[in-house]
Structures are given as structure tokens and as C-alpha cells.
Structure 1
Amino acid sequence: MGDSDTKGALAPRRRVTSAAGKSASMLPVNGKSAAACESSVTADYGHGKRDRSLETVRAKSKSEKQKRRSYTSDRLSSCHKTQESLLSSGSGYNNYRGILNWCVVMLVLSNARLFLENLLRYGVLVDPIQVISLFLNDPYNWPAACLVIVSNVFVLVALYTERQLSKGSFTELVGFLVHCMNMAIMLTLPAAVVLLVPCVTPVGGAFVLGTYTILFLKLYSYKDVNMWCRELSTIKAKTLARSLSCPSAQHLNGGDPKVCYPGNLTIRDMCYFVFAPTLCYELNFPRSPHIRMSFLLRRLFEMLFFIQLLVALTQQWMIPIIQSSMKPLEDMDLSRMTERLLRLAVPNHLLWLMFFYGFFHSSMNFTAELLRFGDRRFYNDWWNSETVTYFWQNWNIPVHKWCLRHFYKPLLRRGFSKILSQSAVFFLSAFFHEYLVSVPLRMFRLWAFLGMMAQLPLAWFVSRFLHGTYGNAAVWISIIIGQPFAILMYVHDYYVLHYRQEAD
């Protein structure tokens, strides 16, 4: 009875308490009214707020004092230290990308002005039909094309001779004499045809002689490598090690089998070497695994684009400058000759750079990709050349490899000094430069020969007195100025020899 009353009395208390939790303002708590509770809470909140505001004020004053101290210390701290200017060589600074971009923009703008001036003065001079007529005067008489077809005879003679030597039918002396006669005729026959047949144009003659010169260097390397194979055979070497031909890491690229002497003496092997973008023969060339069609099409597009651009710029820009240079050359007006030379230097250099990219990168990579030829190092960083020797060693890697392998090192093994061997290499290069220029023009002035031989004293001077940036600048000046000077000399002599006589 009492428990039930107690429970009954407690039940309303629980409900009131729960309701008080919902609305504290309506009911008393611990004997205090809701208003008193609210005032006490407000007083506690006010005290907390004042404490926090005091702490905030103290923190602000402290941070302000720290800022004043740091500002004072910054004003008193040293603003100087030992350092070099950025344009000084000792600064270690090498990020000149902005200056390079500025140079490119200025070059484009200046040449755009020159090209616009050329168009306003001469009009449009580009004529593709005229270019085609340079290769043939008579469409039914193509001596240059006939000479290129005849070159296959010399290739077959070299292959036949090597086969006879491998079987022992020819002695080494007989084989050497046959090779010498074959290569001597290769150099003299096209030169004689170009000089004696009037319908061969200078451009067609230069193309034919260039083709025969490349074949001459290839067959010379073919002769030497097969001779080395026979020498190894005589000392009981069963096969020619692949490591002598190409790096061992590329032994079986593309799944091609290894070839051993005399299994290399086939028509297929000879044809591959003739068309491969190299002058040095090997039994086993490094091969790429497959043909990349996108890469092949890009190189083909570049080839066609640069051929058209070279022809257009030559007709529109080079020829008018050369024609306007004839009168100063005749009068020997040094000031005007210098002005024409500098005017010719810029377009000539741009054309030379385009030819370099179009030939050594686009066309040779196109041929290498088509034949799956693995060695694509056709040039090195010749633009960073600080010596003339470095330039000639790196701008044309196929020729440099041939000279090093088949000419320079054999001379050293025979006891010649390095200076004499290098001079002999420059002499050989000077001979072929003159051969490729004088014979198609049907005149012998030795300007190309003297220009190449002048590289020897220039190389000595640059390596001895100029280093670093100054050496690189000297190499660039020799490239930019030397070529147009030789061109002007040949064009002037050609004009005097032909057109002056016709006018008289």
C-alpha cells in the first residue's frame, strides 16, 4: 500500500522532470526558479567571454610586438651577399630559354621582312616546271638516268669478284686489281659523260656524281670487310664473330639469323647494303623489330615538304641575290661584294639547315625504317661544336665512320702520324667536294678544294686560341660565311665562262 503510494507519487515527479528537460524555463530546478537559473548561466557566460576577450587582446599585443621585432630585425639584417651576375660565366646560371626564344622571334621577324621585300621587288618566282627541266633538257634523252642504271654493273662486278675470291678462283692480287679497275672506272666514267655530253645539266650531273661517289665508298668498304673475313679464315677462324660487326645486345633483333662468311656473298645481301643508309659494310647489321608506319609516314611527309620548300626558297630568294651580285664581282667593288655576301649568307644558311634536317634526319630515317636498319645515329650534336674538328666528326656520322674505319686507322697502322693522317682525311674530303662541284659545272676553279683544306689551319687556330663559347661562335661563323663565299665564287666563274661568252 505504501509502496504503491510511493510509486504513484514518484510517477508524476518523473514526468515533471522529463518535461523540465524539455522546457527548463517553466519549472523550478533544485529549488530555484527558471529566471534565477538563467541569470546564473548568463553571468557565467559573461565571465567566460570577458576572459576570452582578455586572452585575445593579450595574443594580439604579443603578435604585434613580435611583428615589430621581426620588422626591426629585417631592417637591420644584411641585404647583400657574395654572388655573381647572371650573365657572368662564374655565376653557374644556364637557363637562357627566354633569350633563345627572343632570338628566334627576332630571326623570324627579320627574315619575314626580307621575304616580304623580296616579294614586293621581284614578285613570285617559284616555277616547279623549271626545276624539272634542270634534270632533263630532252624528255627522250636522259643521260643522268642512264648513268644511274649503269651503276648496277659496277655493283655486280664487285659481288662477282668477291665470290671468286672466296672460292679461290682469284688470287688476292688479281682480286685487288679487279676492284681497283672497277672503282677507278666508277669515278671516271660518269665524270667523262657529264663533261662530254652537253645535254647533262649541272643539277643532273651533281646527282649522278653523288650517286657514284656513295657507291664508290660502299664498294670500298665491301672489299675491305670481305678481305678481313678471308684473313680470319686463314688463321683458322671458322666464323666471323658477330661482336666484330655490331653490338652484342642487338644480335638477333627482329629474329634475323646470323650470317657468316662466305654466306653473305648474295644478291640480296648486296642490294640491302646498297640501299642501307650507311657507308660501312657489315655481315650482320643491327635490325629493328618491325616497321612503324606512323614514323614512316611522318618522315615521308617531311621529305616532300622540305624538297618543295628548298626549291621555292632557292628560286625566290637565292637566285635574285646571286644575279644581283654579278655586277659587284665584275667591278671588284669590295664594299658591295661584302654586302652581297652578307645578304646571301642568311638564306644560304637557312637552306643548308633545311637540307641537313631533310636529308640526315627525314630521308635517312625513312630509308632506315623501311629497311629495318637499326643504327639511326646519322649525326651527333655538331651544333655544340667548340672546335672545327669536332664539327667534321659529328655532323655527318656515316662519312666519319667510313673515314675512321677505312682510311684514318689503316694509315695509323702503317706508321703514319696522327697529324699526317688527319691531313690525308681532309685532302680526300676536299677531292670529293671539288669532284662533286667542278665536274657538273664543267669548270675547275678549286674553290671547294681550297675551302676544305683551309679547315686545317682554322681547326688549329680555334683549338689553340678559342675555347668554349668563343670556339662555338667561330665554328658557326665559318659555316655561315664560308659556304656563301664559295657559292659566289663558283657562280661568278660560271657566269663569266658561259653567259659572258654567249653575250660577246
Structure 2
Amino acid sequence: MNGRSAAVCQDSVTAEVSRDDGQGKRDRSLETVRSKSKSEKKKCRNDISDRLSHLICFCSCHKTQQSLLSSASGYSNYRGVLNWCVVMLVRQKYGILVDPIQVISLFLNDPYSWPAACLVIVSNVFILVALYTERQLSKGSFTELVGFLVHCTNMAVMLTFPAAVVLLVPSVTPVGGVFVLGTYTILFLKLYSYKDVNMWCRELSTVKAKKLARSLSCPSGQTLNGGDRQVCYPGNLTIRDMYYFVFAPTLCYELNFPRSPNIRMSFLLRRLFEMVRKYLIFLLSFHQWMIPIIQSSMKPLEDMDLSRMTERLLRLAVPNHLMWLMFFYWFFHSSLNFTAELLRFGDRQFYKDWWNSESVTYFWQNWNIPVHKWCLRHFYKPLLRRGFSKKVSQSAVFFLSAFFHEYLVSVPLRMFRLWAFMGMMAQLPLAWFVGHFLRGNYGNAAVWISIIIGQPFAVLMYVHDYYVLHYRQELPINRFLV
């Protein structure tokens, strides 16, 4: 019995345990279901909160930022403004005034009768005369006095010969005359610098001081940054060196120019595309905008109607200024960079921040760096070394600039009115007034006003005089094209 009772107790205990295990499993399963439902509810609540937060973030349309026209925004892409100017230019009331077939025919019709192109070819004679003179001076065949007289004669003829041809040959158009005289003026400044630098080299070579002798030494095999061999005097007196300087975008000669390592074709093509595009826009602006205003200005100028003359002047100021800005970008950025890249010329500082000029002097020192360097190196500092004061030297620089401005305008138009000369000389009192009485933004505004108003005034004066001398009924456009 004890055995049976023990077995029964064992079975009862086992049954209880089994019942307890079943109840525990059911309880655990219920707890699992409850935990799963809680986690699912929590997950749903989290999903809903995430969606709400995302929706709130999406609906938030404000953040800390600057306006595009503010200097703090760093935005600088205003290319669309230029496109807007072109669209508005085409949509003027004058209609489409450009005849592209006529313009192209002017460049293709009878090219052998172009006196301007012939004069440019003849300029090689003056280049070779300067090179020959320097070679003779380096060998001692010419004395310094003889070389100086030959150079002076050569450069004097450079200025008078093309001017005489432009004045005496009727087939030379005003634009062709400006191109020819501009080319000869650039060559004149280049050859003057070439003469001076080679003279300085000869003077240094005659000095017996060891320090100067060591400074002139150029060890064979020494190379520059671009991998080119360094040249010493008189090894620079070659045709290749001379013509490299003639085509280089600089007016100041050096024996060894800084060179870039290679030619970047992508950079070259971008500048070429800019040159073509800016030229077409310039031509369009001239025909569509300036010609109608100039034609409508002739009658007020003839009648000396001051109010209408002022109104025409202000109307002409905007297109004239935009064309001047386009010319600046086309020449000083696109064209000079294109030439520099093609020749691997390293110094690309053709202009500085002249648009921030707070004085007239700063503007003239920074808007045309090649000319400024030439004036500083070959004209201003030599005058100071000869004992002239700074004011006299600055006045002499402005006088020289005024002469060339008048030379480039009056000779092609075959009339002498001195408007450009007086405009340049008027910069001296204007520079004094702005420098003494205006500062900061006021000085910058005065510089901009002088640029915007002064140029169209001179343009109107020259066009009026040219119109009165040659035409009375209509101002022909073709006379201003090559």
C-alpha cells in the first residue's frame, strides 16, 4: 500500500505539476500577446510621431539665410541680367536694325583694297628696324647717340606715317583708322620699352662692380617656371624674342617673361567663345541702341536746345556705358587672356578692382594695368629721377594720355576738336576735388558719374561735328564700319 500510495502521490503531484505548467504556459502566452500588442501600439505611435515630425519639418519653409543681392550671401552669378539686357535691346521700338548679310559683306568685299590691313603689314618694317638697331648697339657698331637718334626717328615715323595715310587716303574708314592707329600706338609703346630695357642692360654690363656682374650672370642650363631656358643680354636680340614681345599682352619688355607650363584648351575655347559672343552683342547694341539715339540728337544739337540736348545725353549715357563695360570685358579679360594662354604668358593681371575706386587716381591706376605699368616704369619714375615733383610728373602722364586719346579719335575722323584731350586733362581737377572733398561711397559714386556722363558727352560732340562736316540728311551706319 505504501508503494501504491507513493505511486498515487507521485501521479497526483505530476498531474498538479502538469496542470501548473499548462496554466503557466497559458499565462506566458497571454503575457506575450499583451507585450506584442503593447510593442505594436508603441511602434504605431512612434510611426505616427515620425510622420508628424517629418510633416512639420516639411511644412517649415524658413531658415537663416541672406538675400541674394546682399554681400553676405556670397552670390555672384548675374549672367541672366546680361541676357535680359540683350532681350530688352532687341525688343526696342526701333525694331531689328542689324542686317547681318550687309555686315558680313563689308568684311568680304574686295579685301585687297583694305588700306588698314596694308598699314598693319607695313608695321613689321619698324619692328625690324628697332631689332637691327639694338643688334648694332650690342656689337658696338652704333654709338649710343647714333642708336638713340635711329630709335627716335623710327618711332616718330611710326606715329606720323599711319596718321598721314589715314588723313590722305579717303578709303580708310573711321573704324579702320582707329584700328590702324591703335596698333601703331601699341607698337610705339612696346618699342620704347624695348629700347629702354636693352639700354639698361648695356649700362649694367659696363659696370665693373662684382655685385652687379653677379646679378647679370645667367648660368647655362638654368630654366624658368615654364621650362624655358633663361636668356641673357645680348642673347635676347632675336627675331623670335622680338615677335613674342610684340604679340605678348604687355607693353613692358623683359628678357625673361613668366611662363605658364602648358596651354589649357578648355580655357582657350571659353575665352574664344566669349570674344565672339561679346563682339556680336556689341555690334547689336551699337545698331539697335546708339545709332537711333545719336540720329535723334542731331537736331537738338544744331538748334542748341539745351533741355533736349541734356535729355539726349542722359538717354545716350546708359547704352554708351554698357557698351564700354562690354568692351572692357571683351578686351581686358577675354582677348588678353586668350592671347596670354596661347603664348603661355604667365602674368595675367590686366586689371584690378577699378569698380571699387574711391578716387579718380585709383581708377586710372587700376583699370588698365599694362598702360599703367608702362607709364610708371618708362615715364613717371624717369621724370622723378630727373628732379620733377610728383604733381608735375602726374600731370605729364595725363598729358601724354590725353595726346594719345585725341590722336586715336581726331585723326580717324579727320577733324580736330580736342574733346578727348580736354576730357582727359579735366581728370586732373576732378581727381583733386574727389581726393580732397569726397571719401568712401561718395568718392566711388563720383568716379562712376564721371565715367557714365563724361564719355557720352564726348561721343555726342564728336558725332555732331562729324555729322555737320559730312552729312546733313542721314547719319550712315556703314561709314562707321570697316
TM-score normalised by structure 2 residue count: 0.81
Distance in 1 (CA, whole Å) between partners of 2:85 and 2:277 is 23
Does the Cα contact within 8 Å between 2:225 and 2:259 map onto a contact in 1?
yes
Does the Cα contact within 8 Å between 2:89 and 2:285 map onto a contact in 1?
no
Aligned pair in 2 of structure 1 residues 25, 240: CA closer, same or farther (>3 Å)? closer
Q: Does 1:117 align with 2:92?
A: yes
Query: Structure 1 residue aligned with 2:343, among 340, 365, 371?
Result: 371
Report matched runs for 1:456-495 at 5 Å: 456-495=428-467
Measured after TM superposition, the shift of residue 353 of structure 1 is 0.5
Q: Does 1:152 align with 2:127?
A: no
Does the Cα contact within 8 Å between 1:380 and 1:395 map onto a contact in 2?
yes
Measured after TM superposition, the shift of residue 271 of structure 1 is 0.9
Does the Cα contact within 8 Å between 2:226 and 2:258 map onto a contact in 1?
no
Distance in 1 (CA, whole Å) between partners of 2:224 and 2:280 is 39
Distance in 1 (CA, whole Å) between partners of 2:229 and 2:253 is 17
Q: Does 1:179 align with 2:151?
A: yes
Distance in 2 (CA, whole Å) between partners of 1:261 and 1:108 is 51
Q: Where does residue 23 of structure 1 map in the other structure?
A: 23
Distance in 1 (CA, whole Å) between partners of 2:106 and 2:131 is 34
Does the Cα contact within 8 Å between 1:253 and 1:286 map onto a contact in 2?
yes
Does the Cα contact within 8 Å between 1:162 and 1:175 map onto a contact in 2?
yes
Measured after TM superposition, the shift of residue 137 of structure 1 is 8.0
Summarize deviations over 1:111-148 as a string: whole Å, max 9, x none. Answer: 86675333xxx321112354456679854422111100
Instruction: State the one-letter code of the partner of 1:405.
Output: R
Query: Structure 2 residue aligned with 1:165, among 137, 144, 149?
Result: 137
Instruction: State the one-letter code of the partner of 1:478.
Output: S
Q: Where does residue 209 of structure 1 map in the other structure?
A: 181
Summarize deviations over 1:209-248 as a string: whole Å, max 9, x none. Answer: 00000000000000001111111101134476599xxxxx
Q: Where does residue 37 of structure 2 map in the other structure?
A: none
Query: Structure 2 residue aligned with 1:224, among 189, 196, 199?
Result: 196
Distance in 2 (CA, whole Å) between partners of 1:8 and 1:414 is 137
Q: Where does residue 450 of structure 1 map in the other structure?
A: 422
Measured after TM superposition, the shift of residue 297 of structure 1 is 0.2
Measured after TM superposition, the shift of residue 501 of structure 1 is 10
Measured after TM superposition, the shift of residue 19 of structure 1 is 7.1
Aligned pair in 2 of structure 1 residues 320, 11: CA closer, same or farther (>3 Å)? farther
Does the Cα contact within 8 Å between 1:240 and 1:260 map onto a contact in 2?
no
Q: Where does residue 299 of structure 2 map in the other structure?
A: 327
Q: Where does residue 49 of structure 1 map in the other structure?
A: none
Distance in 1 (CA, whole Å) between partners of 2:280 and 2:326 is 11
Distance in 2 (CA, whole Å) between partners of 1:221 and 1:435 is 20
Q: Where does residue 415 of structure 1 map in the other structure?
A: 387
Does the Cα contact within 8 Å between 1:134 and 1:204 map onto a contact in 2?
no
Instruction: State the one-letter code of the partner of 1:23.
Output: Q
Does the Cα contact within 8 Å between 1:136 and 1:199 map onto a contact in 2?
no
**Identical aligned pairs, as a percentage?**
78
Q: Where does residue 35 of structure 2 map in the other structure?
A: none
Aligned pair in 2 of structure 1 residues 298, 16: CA closer, same or farther (>3 Å)? farther
Measured after TM superposition, the shift of residue 110 of structure 1 is 8.5
Measured after TM superposition, the shift of residue 312 of structure 1 is 1.3
Q: Does 1:309 align with 2:284?
A: no
Distance in 2 (CA, whole Å) between partners of 1:8 and 1:185 is 142
Instruction: State the one-letter code of the partner of 2:91.
Output: L
Aligned pair in 2 of structure 1 residues 367, 22: CA closer, same or farther (>3 Å)? farther
Measured after TM superposition, the shift of residue 13 of structure 1 is 6.0
Summarize deviations over 1:458-481 as a string: whole Å, max 9, x none. Answer: 001011111000100010000000
Distance in 1 (CA, whole Å) between partners of 2:110 and 2:25 is 119
Q: Where does residue 72 of structure 1 map in the other structure?
A: none
Corresponding residue SS for 1:23: helix
Measured after TM superposition, the shift of residue 315 of structure 1 is 1.0
Distance in 2 (CA, whole Å) between partners of 1:304 and 1:462 is 38
Distance in 1 (CA, whole Å) between partners of 2:83 and 2:264 is 34
Q: Does 1:403 align with 2:378?
A: no
Distance in 1 (CA, whole Å) between partners of 2:206 and 2:98 is 61
Distance in 1 (CA, whole Å) between partners of 2:278 and 2:154 is 36
Summarize deviations over 1:71-111 as a string: whole Å, max 9, x none. Answer: xxxxxxxxxxxxxxxxxxxxxxx94578x99x999998788
Distance in 1 (CA, whole Å) between partners of 2:153 and 2:19 is 124
Report matched runs for 1:54-453 at 5 Å: 95-96=70-71, 116-118=91-93, 122-131=94-103, 139-236=111-208, 237-238=212-213, 241=216, 252-453=224-425
Q: For structure 1, which segment, 127-136 or 489-498, has the greater mean C-alpha deviation from structure 2 after superposition?
A: 127-136
Summarize deviations over 1:263-297 as a string: whole Å, max 9, x none. Answer: 11111101110000000000110111111100000
Instruction: State the one-letter code of the partner of 2:301.
Output: L
Aligned pair in 2 of structure 1 residues 12, 485: CA closer, same or farther (>3 Å)? farther
Instruction: State the one-letter code of the partner of 1:116.
Output: R
Instruction: State the one-letter code of the partner of 2:160.
Output: T
Does the Cα contact within 8 Å between 2:90 and 2:96 map onto a contact in 1?
no
How many residue pairs match? The answer is 428
Corresponding residue SS for 1:254: coil
Corresponding residue SS for 2:446: helix
Q: CA RMSD in A?
A: 3.4
Instruction: State the one-letter code of the partner of 1:498.
Output: H
Does the Cα contact within 8 Å between 1:136 and 1:142 map onto a contact in 2?
no
Summarize deviations over 1:345-385 as a string: whole Å, max 9, x none. Answer: 11111111110001100000000000000000100000000
* Highest RCO, 1 vs 2 (Cα 8 Å, sep ≥ 6): 2
Distance in 1 (CA, whole Å) between partners of 2:197 and 2:403 is 24
Corresponding residue SS for 2:91: helix
Measured after TM superposition, the shift of residue 308 of structure 1 is 1.0
Measured after TM superposition, the shift of residue 404 of structure 1 is 0.4
Aligned pair in 2 of structure 1 residues 12, 274: CA closer, same or farther (>3 Å)? farther
Does the Cα contact within 8 Å between 2:272 and 2:338 map onto a contact in 1?
yes
Distance in 2 (CA, whole Å) between partners of 1:196 and 1:140 is 19
Corresponding residue SS for 1:206: helix
Q: Where does residue 80 of structure 1 map in the other structure?
A: none
Aligned pair in 2 of structure 1 residues 282, 113: CA closer, same or farther (>3 Å)? closer
Does the Cα contact within 8 Å between 2:167 and 2:412 map onto a contact in 1?
yes
Corresponding residue SS for 1:416: coil
Instruction: State the one-letter code of the partner of 1:177.
Output: L
